């Protein structure tokens, strides 16, 4: 019994639906991603302790957190190697949620100041 008979997904599409020439990353890539995530975390901590950045601390921390989120989703959740339909299923509701949160912040925090 061959692998394609036992596991139909392991046929032409490869394991987990990946194309035959697109294998998952090796351990070196995961170590590099871990080092990058550690560096971003160190920058976040540094931003908190630098008094000159307190005025723009929240946007900087949000941008750095979003960067870490996308790195984790792409590499550790293997979304980078999956079908594009999973990208749409994951990022479409996320984009909608971000827009709703931005709208709520504008509605209840920013706009009342202009009254």
Three-class secondary structure of residue 18 per DSSP: coil
Cβ-Cβ contacts under 8 Å for 68 (sequence gap 6 or more): 37, 40, 41
88/90 Cα distance (integer angstroms): 5
Quote the CA–CA distance of 99 and 2 in Å, as a whole number.
49
Contact by Cβ (8 Å): 81, 21: no
Place of tokens 């827009």: 99
Please, what's the b/e burial string for 21-45 (b: 16 or more CB within 10 A of its CB; e: otherwise)?
eeeeeeeeeeeebeeebeeeeeeee
Residue pLDDT tens, the chain, 115 long: 554 444 444 444 444 544 555 677 889 999 999 999 999 999 999 999 999 999 899 889 989 998 999 999 888 888 888 888 988 888 899 899 989 988 988 888 877 777 6
pTM over 0.75: no
Pick from 35, 42, 44: nearest CA to 66: 44
């Amino acid at each position: 019994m061959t692998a394609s008979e036992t596991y139909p997904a392991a046929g032409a599409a490869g394991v987990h639906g990946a194309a035959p020439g697109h294998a998952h990353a090796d351990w070196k890539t995961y170590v590099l991603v871990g080092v990058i995530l550690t560096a971003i975390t160190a920058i976040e901590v540094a931003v908190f302790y630098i008094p000159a950045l307190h005025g723009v601390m929240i946007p900087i921390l949000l941008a750095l957190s979003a960067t870490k989120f996308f790195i984790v989703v792409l590499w550790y959740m293997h979304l980078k190697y999956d079908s594009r339909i999973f990208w749409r299923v994951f990022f479409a509701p996320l984009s909608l949620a971000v827009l709703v949160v931005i709208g709520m912040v504008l509605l209840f925090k920013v706009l009342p100041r202009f009254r």
